[in-house]
Amino acid sequence: MRLATLAAGLLAAAASALPALAQQPADTVAAIRARGMLTCGVAPSTAGFSIPDSRGEWRGIDVDSCRAVAAAVLGDATKVRFIPASTQQRFTMLQSGEIDLLVRSTTWTLGREAALGLAFAGVNFYDGQGFMVKRASGVTTARALDGATVCVQPGTTTELNMADYFRANRIRFTPVIIDNIEELRAAFIAGRCDVYTNDASSLASFRASQGPNAEQYLLLPEIISKEPLGPVVRKGDWKFFDVVRWSHFAMVNAEEMGINSTNLATFNDSGNPDVQRFMGRSGDLGKQLGLNNDFAVQIVRQVGNFSEVWERNITPIGIPRGINSLWTQGGLQYAPPMR
Protein backbone atom coordinates (compact mmCIF):
# COMPACT_ATOMS: atom_id res chain seq x y z
CA MET A 1 0.00 0.00 0.00
CA ARG A 2 2.80 2.37 0.90
CA LEU A 3 4.57 1.64 -2.38
CA ALA A 4 1.37 2.24 -4.30
CA THR A 5 0.79 5.48 -2.45
CA LEU A 6 4.37 6.57 -3.09
CA ALA A 7 4.08 5.71 -6.78
CA ALA A 8 0.82 7.59 -7.06
CA GLY A 9 2.40 10.59 -5.36
CA LEU A 10 5.36 10.57 -7.72
CA LEU A 11 3.08 10.35 -10.76
CA ALA A 12 0.98 13.22 -9.46
CA ALA A 13 4.09 15.32 -8.86
CA ALA A 14 5.37 14.56 -12.35
CA ALA A 15 2.02 15.43 -13.88
CA SER A 16 1.86 18.73 -12.01
CA ALA A 17 5.36 19.56 -13.22
CA LEU A 18 4.45 19.13 -16.89
CA PRO A 19 2.66 22.49 -17.27
CA ALA A 20 5.60 24.24 -15.64
CA LEU A 21 7.99 22.51 -18.03
CA ALA A 22 5.78 23.40 -20.97
CA GLN A 23 5.80 27.05 -19.91
CA GLN A 24 9.58 27.36 -19.79
CA PRO A 25 10.56 30.42 -21.88
CA ALA A 26 12.14 29.84 -25.25
CA ASP A 27 15.89 30.30 -25.56
CA THR A 28 15.90 33.21 -28.01
CA VAL A 29 19.68 33.31 -28.34
CA ALA A 30 19.76 29.61 -29.28
CA ALA A 31 16.92 30.13 -31.78
CA ILE A 32 18.75 33.07 -33.39
CA ARG A 33 21.94 31.03 -33.70
CA ALA A 34 20.13 28.02 -35.14
CA ARG A 35 18.40 30.27 -37.67
CA GLY A 36 21.55 32.24 -38.38
CA MET A 37 19.51 35.43 -38.33
CA LEU A 38 17.95 37.91 -35.88
CA THR A 39 14.39 38.97 -36.69
CA CYS A 40 13.74 42.55 -35.63
CA GLY A 41 10.49 44.53 -35.77
CA VAL A 42 10.93 48.16 -36.83
CA ALA A 43 8.80 51.09 -37.98
CA PRO A 44 8.01 50.90 -41.71
CA SER A 45 9.20 54.38 -42.67
CA THR A 46 10.63 56.84 -40.13
CA ALA A 47 13.70 58.75 -41.28
CA GLY A 48 16.48 58.63 -38.73
CA PHE A 49 14.99 55.61 -36.98
CA SER A 50 14.12 52.94 -39.53
CA ILE A 51 13.63 53.40 -43.24
CA PRO A 52 14.91 51.61 -46.37
CA ASP A 53 17.27 53.70 -48.50
CA SER A 54 17.23 53.89 -52.31
CA ARG A 55 18.93 50.48 -52.48
CA GLY A 56 16.50 48.87 -50.05
CA GLU A 57 19.06 48.92 -47.22
CA TRP A 58 17.52 49.65 -43.83
CA ARG A 59 18.92 52.72 -42.04
CA GLY A 60 18.29 54.37 -38.68
CA ILE A 61 19.09 54.38 -34.98
CA ASP A 62 16.59 51.59 -34.30
CA VAL A 63 18.03 49.59 -37.18
CA ASP A 64 21.51 49.99 -35.70
CA SER A 65 20.22 48.81 -32.31
CA CYS A 66 19.08 45.62 -34.03
CA ARG A 67 22.42 45.27 -35.81
CA ALA A 68 24.30 45.67 -32.53
CA VAL A 69 22.43 42.66 -31.10
CA ALA A 70 23.20 40.62 -34.23
CA ALA A 71 26.88 41.53 -33.93
CA ALA A 72 26.86 40.42 -30.27
CA VAL A 73 25.02 37.14 -30.81
CA LEU A 74 26.17 36.09 -34.28
CA GLY A 75 29.34 38.11 -34.72
CA ASP A 76 27.83 39.63 -37.87
CA ALA A 77 25.77 42.83 -37.81
CA THR A 78 24.34 42.10 -41.27
CA LYS A 79 22.53 38.97 -40.09
CA VAL A 80 19.22 40.75 -39.41
CA ARG A 81 15.86 40.41 -41.10
CA PHE A 82 13.94 43.65 -40.61
CA ILE A 83 10.18 43.23 -40.38
CA PRO A 84 7.96 46.32 -40.63
CA ALA A 85 5.62 46.45 -37.63
CA SER A 86 2.57 48.70 -37.38
CA THR A 87 1.60 50.38 -34.12
CA GLN A 88 -1.37 48.01 -33.82
CA GLN A 89 0.53 44.78 -34.55
CA ARG A 90 3.97 45.36 -33.00
CA PHE A 91 3.30 43.87 -29.56
CA THR A 92 1.41 40.86 -30.91
CA MET A 93 4.28 40.15 -33.31
CA LEU A 94 6.71 40.04 -30.39
CA GLN A 95 4.42 38.09 -28.08
CA SER A 96 3.77 35.45 -30.74
CA GLY A 97 7.44 34.97 -31.57
CA GLU A 98 7.13 36.33 -35.11
CA ILE A 99 10.03 38.62 -34.20
CA ASP A 100 12.83 38.15 -31.68
CA LEU A 101 13.15 41.82 -30.83
CA LEU A 102 11.09 45.00 -31.21
CA VAL A 103 12.94 48.29 -31.73
CA ARG A 104 10.26 50.55 -33.11
CA SER A 105 10.26 53.98 -31.38
CA THR A 106 8.22 52.30 -28.66
CA THR A 107 7.63 54.11 -25.37
CA TRP A 108 8.50 52.38 -22.11
CA THR A 109 5.49 52.59 -19.77
CA LEU A 110 4.38 50.80 -16.63
CA GLY A 111 1.19 49.57 -18.28
CA ARG A 112 2.99 48.01 -21.21
CA GLU A 113 5.62 46.32 -19.10
CA ALA A 114 3.15 45.07 -16.48
CA ALA A 115 0.34 43.87 -18.74
CA LEU A 116 1.84 42.66 -22.02
CA GLY A 117 4.39 40.09 -20.87
CA LEU A 118 7.16 42.25 -22.33
CA ALA A 119 10.24 43.96 -20.89
CA PHE A 120 12.07 47.08 -22.04
CA ALA A 121 15.81 46.49 -22.16
CA GLY A 122 16.97 50.11 -22.25
CA VAL A 123 16.49 53.52 -23.83
CA ASN A 124 18.15 54.37 -27.12
CA PHE A 125 16.29 57.69 -27.50
CA TYR A 126 14.80 59.98 -24.85
CA ASP A 127 11.88 61.74 -26.51
CA GLY A 128 8.69 63.65 -25.79
CA GLN A 129 5.41 64.23 -27.61
CA GLY A 130 4.90 67.41 -29.61
CA PHE A 131 2.59 69.04 -32.13
CA MET A 132 3.16 70.16 -35.71
CA VAL A 133 1.10 72.65 -37.71
CA LYS A 134 1.41 74.31 -41.06
CA ARG A 135 3.30 77.56 -40.67
CA ALA A 136 0.64 79.34 -42.73
CA SER A 137 -1.92 78.66 -39.98
CA GLY A 138 -0.32 81.32 -37.80
CA VAL A 139 -0.51 79.03 -34.76
CA THR A 140 2.61 79.23 -32.58
CA THR A 141 1.50 77.47 -29.39
CA ALA A 142 -0.54 74.38 -28.52
CA ARG A 143 -2.75 76.54 -26.30
CA ALA A 144 -4.15 78.09 -29.50
CA LEU A 145 -5.42 74.76 -30.87
CA ASP A 146 -8.97 75.00 -29.48
CA GLY A 147 -11.38 73.34 -31.92
CA ALA A 148 -8.60 71.82 -34.01
CA THR A 149 -8.69 68.47 -35.80
CA VAL A 150 -5.67 66.35 -34.86
CA CYS A 151 -4.12 63.52 -36.87
CA VAL A 152 -3.00 60.72 -34.55
CA GLN A 153 -2.23 56.99 -34.67
CA PRO A 154 -4.49 54.68 -32.64
CA GLY A 155 -3.30 52.38 -29.87
CA THR A 156 -0.36 54.59 -28.94
CA THR A 157 0.74 56.59 -25.92
CA THR A 158 0.47 59.55 -28.31
CA GLU A 159 -3.31 59.17 -28.51
CA LEU A 160 -3.65 59.00 -24.72
CA ASN A 161 -1.25 61.89 -24.04
CA MET A 162 -3.04 64.12 -26.54
CA ALA A 163 -6.44 63.48 -24.95
CA ASP A 164 -5.06 64.08 -21.44
CA TYR A 165 -3.33 67.32 -22.44
CA PHE A 166 -6.29 68.85 -24.25
CA ARG A 167 -8.77 67.92 -21.55
CA ALA A 168 -6.52 69.16 -18.76
CA ASN A 169 -6.21 72.50 -20.56
CA ARG A 170 -9.88 72.58 -21.62
CA ILE A 171 -9.01 72.61 -25.30
CA ARG A 172 -11.64 71.19 -27.64
CA PHE A 173 -10.37 68.85 -30.35
CA THR A 174 -11.49 66.28 -32.90
CA PRO A 175 -9.17 63.31 -33.46
CA VAL A 176 -8.55 62.04 -36.99
CA ILE A 177 -7.41 58.48 -36.31
CA ILE A 178 -5.29 56.76 -38.98
CA ASP A 179 -3.15 53.70 -38.28
CA ASN A 180 -0.82 53.78 -41.29
CA ILE A 181 1.85 56.42 -40.68
CA GLU A 182 2.24 57.34 -44.35
CA GLU A 183 -1.52 57.76 -44.78
CA LEU A 184 -1.62 59.86 -41.62
CA ARG A 185 1.13 62.17 -42.85
CA ALA A 186 -0.56 62.44 -46.24
CA ALA A 187 -3.80 63.41 -44.51
CA PHE A 188 -1.99 66.19 -42.65
CA ILE A 189 -0.33 67.47 -45.82
CA ALA A 190 -3.68 67.39 -47.64
CA GLY A 191 -5.37 69.43 -44.91
CA ARG A 192 -7.66 66.72 -43.50
CA CYS A 193 -6.43 67.76 -40.06
CA ASP A 194 -5.03 70.98 -38.60
CA VAL A 195 -2.43 69.34 -36.39
CA TYR A 196 -0.17 66.30 -36.52
CA THR A 197 0.92 64.93 -33.15
CA ASN A 198 3.61 62.35 -32.48
CA ASP A 199 6.93 62.02 -30.72
CA ALA A 200 8.93 65.16 -31.42
CA SER A 201 11.61 63.04 -33.10
CA SER A 202 9.05 61.56 -35.49
CA LEU A 203 7.73 65.02 -36.31
CA ALA A 204 11.26 66.25 -37.02
CA SER A 205 11.85 63.16 -39.16
CA PHE A 206 8.71 63.88 -41.16
CA ARG A 207 9.63 67.53 -41.66
CA ALA A 208 13.17 66.62 -42.78
CA SER A 209 11.72 64.21 -45.35
CA GLN A 210 9.84 67.07 -47.04
CA GLY A 211 12.98 68.57 -48.57
CA PRO A 212 12.38 72.10 -49.90
CA ASN A 213 8.87 72.09 -48.39
CA ALA A 214 10.16 71.52 -44.86
CA GLU A 215 9.84 75.19 -43.94
CA GLN A 216 6.08 74.98 -44.47
CA TYR A 217 5.78 73.05 -41.21
CA LEU A 218 6.26 74.30 -37.66
CA LEU A 219 6.98 72.18 -34.60
CA LEU A 220 5.25 73.88 -31.67
CA PRO A 221 7.33 74.50 -28.52
CA GLU A 222 5.24 72.41 -26.11
CA ILE A 223 6.54 68.94 -25.19
CA ILE A 224 3.72 67.27 -23.26
CA SER A 225 5.10 63.90 -22.19
CA LYS A 226 8.07 61.71 -21.37
CA GLU A 227 8.72 59.19 -24.14
CA PRO A 228 11.69 56.91 -23.38
CA LEU A 229 12.07 54.79 -26.51
CA GLY A 230 13.97 51.55 -26.68
CA PRO A 231 14.25 47.83 -27.43
CA VAL A 232 11.58 45.41 -26.18
CA VAL A 233 11.80 41.65 -25.57
CA ARG A 234 9.52 38.94 -24.21
CA LYS A 235 9.55 38.52 -20.43
CA GLY A 236 11.02 35.30 -19.09
CA ASP A 237 13.99 34.94 -21.40
CA TRP A 238 16.28 37.01 -19.21
CA LYS A 239 19.38 35.71 -20.98
CA PHE A 240 18.32 37.47 -24.17
CA PHE A 241 17.15 40.50 -22.18
CA ASP A 242 20.69 40.84 -20.79
CA VAL A 243 22.22 40.54 -24.26
CA VAL A 244 19.98 43.27 -25.70
CA ARG A 245 20.52 45.57 -22.71
CA TRP A 246 24.31 45.22 -22.72
CA SER A 247 24.53 45.60 -26.49
CA HIS A 248 23.20 49.14 -26.02
CA PHE A 249 25.35 49.76 -22.95
CA ALA A 250 28.42 48.62 -24.90
CA MET A 251 27.89 51.43 -27.43
CA VAL A 252 27.37 54.02 -24.69
CA ASN A 253 30.41 52.85 -22.70
CA ALA A 254 32.50 52.88 -25.88
CA GLU A 255 31.62 56.53 -26.50
CA GLU A 256 32.45 57.42 -22.91
CA MET A 257 35.87 55.75 -23.19
CA GLY A 258 36.58 57.35 -26.56
CA ILE A 259 36.49 54.04 -28.41
CA ASN A 260 35.00 54.13 -31.91
CA SER A 261 35.00 52.08 -35.08
CA THR A 262 38.03 53.86 -36.52
CA ASN A 263 40.37 53.79 -33.51
CA LEU A 264 39.38 50.45 -31.98
CA ALA A 265 42.71 48.73 -32.69
CA THR A 266 44.68 51.38 -30.79
CA PHE A 267 43.06 50.24 -27.54
CA ASN A 268 44.27 46.63 -27.77
CA ASP A 269 47.28 47.24 -25.55
CA SER A 270 45.68 49.77 -23.22
CA GLY A 271 46.68 49.46 -19.58
CA ASN A 272 43.27 50.70 -18.43
CA PRO A 273 41.48 47.78 -16.70
CA ASP A 274 38.05 49.04 -17.86
CA VAL A 275 39.25 49.13 -21.45
CA GLN A 276 40.78 45.65 -21.15
CA ARG A 277 37.45 44.25 -19.92
CA PHE A 278 35.59 46.07 -22.70
CA MET A 279 37.95 44.64 -25.30
CA GLY A 280 37.36 41.13 -23.94
CA ARG A 281 40.98 40.68 -22.87
CA SER A 282 40.11 40.13 -19.20
CA GLY A 283 37.10 39.40 -17.04
CA ASP A 284 35.22 36.89 -19.24
CA LEU A 285 32.26 39.31 -19.35
CA GLY A 286 31.09 38.01 -22.71
CA LYS A 287 31.03 34.44 -21.47
CA GLN A 288 28.88 35.52 -18.54
CA LEU A 289 26.30 36.69 -21.11
CA GLY A 290 26.67 33.52 -23.19
CA LEU A 291 28.58 35.46 -25.86
CA ASN A 292 32.15 35.69 -27.08
CA ASN A 293 34.31 37.86 -24.85
CA ASP A 294 34.88 40.33 -27.71
CA PHE A 295 31.14 40.95 -28.25
CA ALA A 296 31.52 44.68 -27.47
CA VAL A 297 34.42 44.93 -29.93
CA GLN A 298 32.27 43.37 -32.64
CA ILE A 299 29.47 45.86 -31.96
CA VAL A 300 31.76 48.89 -32.18
CA ARG A 301 33.70 47.57 -35.17
CA GLN A 302 30.59 46.79 -37.20
CA VAL A 303 28.02 49.32 -35.94
CA GLY A 304 29.92 52.02 -34.04
CA ASN A 305 29.68 53.63 -30.64
CA PHE A 306 26.55 55.54 -29.63
CA SER A 307 27.88 58.86 -30.93
CA GLU A 308 28.63 57.34 -34.34
CA VAL A 309 25.14 55.85 -34.50
CA TRP A 310 23.62 59.21 -33.58
CA GLU A 311 25.71 61.21 -36.06
CA ARG A 312 24.94 58.77 -38.85
CA ASN A 313 21.18 58.69 -38.32
CA ILE A 314 19.81 61.51 -36.16
CA THR A 315 22.04 64.50 -36.88
CA PRO A 316 20.99 64.58 -40.58
CA ILE A 317 17.33 65.10 -39.61
CA GLY A 318 18.22 68.10 -37.47
CA ILE A 319 17.75 66.80 -33.93
CA PRO A 320 20.46 67.86 -31.45
CA ARG A 321 21.80 65.37 -28.87
CA GLY A 322 20.30 67.38 -25.99
CA ILE A 323 19.15 65.03 -23.22
CA ASN A 324 20.47 62.11 -25.28
CA SER A 325 24.03 63.25 -24.61
CA LEU A 326 26.25 61.25 -22.26
CA TRP A 327 25.76 61.86 -18.55
CA THR A 328 29.23 63.41 -18.50
CA GLN A 329 27.90 66.07 -20.89
CA GLY A 330 24.66 66.81 -19.05
CA GLY A 331 22.53 64.17 -20.78
CA LEU A 332 20.70 61.01 -19.70
CA GLN A 333 22.70 58.38 -21.57
CA TYR A 334 24.39 56.52 -18.74
CA ALA A 335 25.64 52.96 -18.88
CA PRO A 336 26.57 50.84 -15.84
CA PRO A 337 30.23 49.80 -15.76
CA MET A 338 31.35 46.70 -17.61
CA ARG A 339 33.10 44.87 -14.82
Predicted confidence (pLDDT) at residue 174 exceeds the cutoff of 50: yes
Stretch 56-79: mean pLDDT: 98
Task: State residue 38 phi and psi, 5-degree precision.
Answer: -90, 135
- Secondary structure E strands in 141-216: 148-152, 173-177, 195-199
| CA–CA gap between residue 193 and residue 185 (Å, rounded) | 10
Answer whether residue 66 shows pLDDT above 60.
yes
The answer to whether the CB of 274 falls within 8 A of the CB of 339 is yes
Q: Please compute the mean of the pLDDT values over residues 202-211 and round it to a whole number.
A: 92
Residue 21's pLDDT band (boundaries 50, 70, 90)? very low
* pLDDT above 70: residue 102: yes
Sign of the dihedral defined by the CA atoms of residues 23, 28, 29, 32, in that order: positive
Burial environment of residue 281 by CB neighbours within 10 A (0 to 12, 13 to 18, 19 or more): middle
Residue 288, CB-side half-sphere exposure with 13 Å CA sphere: 10
CATH 3.40.190.10, domain 127-227, yes or no: yes
Residue 26: per-residue pLDDT? 83
CA angle 124, 119, 337 (to 5 degrees): 55
pLDDT at 24: 56
What tens digit of pLDDT does each residue of 258-273 get?
999 999 999 999 999 9
Q: What is the pLDDT of residue 17?
A: 44
| Mean pLDDT of the region 98-107 | 96
- In terms of phi and psi (left: phi > 0; alpha: psi -120 to 50; beta: otherwise), the region of 100 is alpha
Q: Residues of the chain with pLDDT > 70: what percent?
A: 93
161-184 CB burial, b ≥16 within 10 A, e <16: bbeebbeeeeeebebbebeebeeb
Residue 204: pLDDT over 80: yes
112-125 tens-digit pLDDT: 999 999 999 999 99
Same fold, 28-126+230-320 and 127-227: yes
Query: Is 28-126+230-320 CATH 3.40.190.10?
Result: yes
- Over pLDDT 90: what percentage of the chain? 86
The H-or-E segment that residue 39 falls in is strand 38-42
pLDDT at residue 156 in the model: 86
What pLDDT score was predicted for residue 22? 39
> Taking the model in full, what pTM does it have?
0.86
Q: What is the mean pLDDT of residues 298-315?
A: 98
Average pLDDT over residues 319-324: 94
Domain boundaries along the sequence of the chain: 28-126+230-320, 127-227
State the pLDDT at residue 6: 42
